Amino acid sequence: MIMRDSEIKTLFAKADEQVHVDEIRKQKTYYAMIEEMEKQRTPMMSTKNILLHQFWYMDKLFFAVYGVLICLGIIFIYSIAIYRIESKWDDYCMYGWSRYS
């Protein structure tokens, strides 16, 4: 036999009438439960804050390596331009391939 919600609520209400509950303890328990629920509640964050936190805590080694490689490439191209190696490699790097095709 399955009981409906209203029947279950009625049974609980009858049981509560038979038990004497101290109102002060009831209020303290109520406030303690509210406080505990507030601690467990997850605060809402905006999309901007979520992305900012993701960027802040992600592994940035890839970006550091990429930055170092770009700097080394710029130094390499600049050194070719300064020392004028006898090939046309610096021209290819500086002006692109379309000039010589």
State residue 75's pLDDT score.
Answer: 92
The 3-class SS string of the chain reads CCCCHHHHHHHHHHHHHHCCCCHHHHHHHHHHHHHHHHHHCCCCCCHHHHHHHHHHHCCCHHHHHHHHHHHHHHHHHHHHHHHCCCCCHHHHHHHCHHHHC
Q: Which residue has the tokens 């021209």?
A: 91
Burial code (b: 16+ CB inside 10 Å, e: under 16) for 19-43 equals: eeeeeeeeeeeeeeeeeeeeeeeee
State residue 70's pLDDT score.
Answer: 97
State residue 12's pLDDT score.
Answer: 77
State residue 1's pLDDT score.
Answer: 58
For residues 100 and 88, is the Cβ–Cβ distance under 8 A? yes
Q: Parse the chain into domains and list their residue ranges.
A: 5-40, 58-100
State residue 48's pLDDT score.
Answer: 92
Measure the CA–CA gap between 49 and 95, rounded to whole angstroms.
Answer: 42
Average confidence (pLDDT) per 10 residues, the chain, 101 residues: 74 79 83 86 85 88 94 89 63 55 48
